[in-house]
Structure formats: structure tokens, C-alpha cells
Structure 1
């Protein structure tokens, strides 16, 4: 059952590497958009990862309608 992993996923929100990883996905989306590319794949990856651990800040930053 996935419930066994929920405490582990929730605890990763406070780990420094998580911010580095999610931040790099956000930065990649910004970079792609500034170069005229499609940022949606990066934003979708960011949203999926942020949603998996319940990180609301990066979930909000990954909303494609705000881009």
C-alpha cells in the first residue's frame, strides 16, 4: 500500500536536496521559456514531483496557466 510511504514522502519536503531538485526544474522551465521554447514539459515534471511530496510552493509555481 502507498500509505506506508506517505510519512517518508512528507518528511522529504524539509530536505535541502529536494529544494535544489525542484528549484532546478523550475529554473529549467524559465530558461526554456526565455529561449522561446516550450516550458510545459518541465512544468509538468515539476508539478508531478511537487505533488508527490505535497510541496505546495512548487505546485503553485508549476501551474501552466500562470505562464
Structure 2
């Protein structure tokens, strides 16, 4: 019985993760100002990276922090 429950939980996780990803993408599409500094995200950046949530400068800082 536990095996069936484990499989059901894995399937539920897949659907939940897909739904959350969709919500994140829809939210990011509607972001027009940088979530860090509040400056507008340039039209060229949004065209090149539609899901961008940071202006180019803040994205550069975030990328450096991840290294």
C-alpha cells in the first residue's frame, strides 16, 4: 500500500511544481520594474528575457554574488 501512496505523492508533486512554475512565469511576465531597485526594466531587456525581474545592473550584481 505504501508503494501506491509514494507513487501518488510523486505524481502530485509533479503537478504542483508545474502549477507553481506557471504562476512564477506569469508573475515575471507582468513585472516592469526591477524587484531590487525599483527602476524600470528596459523594453529591450524584457524582449530578450521576457521573464526578467531585475534591471540589467541588478542582474549583474546578482550574477556576481552567485559566483
**What TM-score do the two structures reach when normalised by structure 2?**
0.31
**What TM-score do the two structures reach when normalised by structure 1?**
0.31
Structure having the larger proportion of residues in helix:
1
**Structure ranking higher on relative contact order (CA contacts 8 Å, 6+ apart):** 1
Structure index of larger Rg: 2
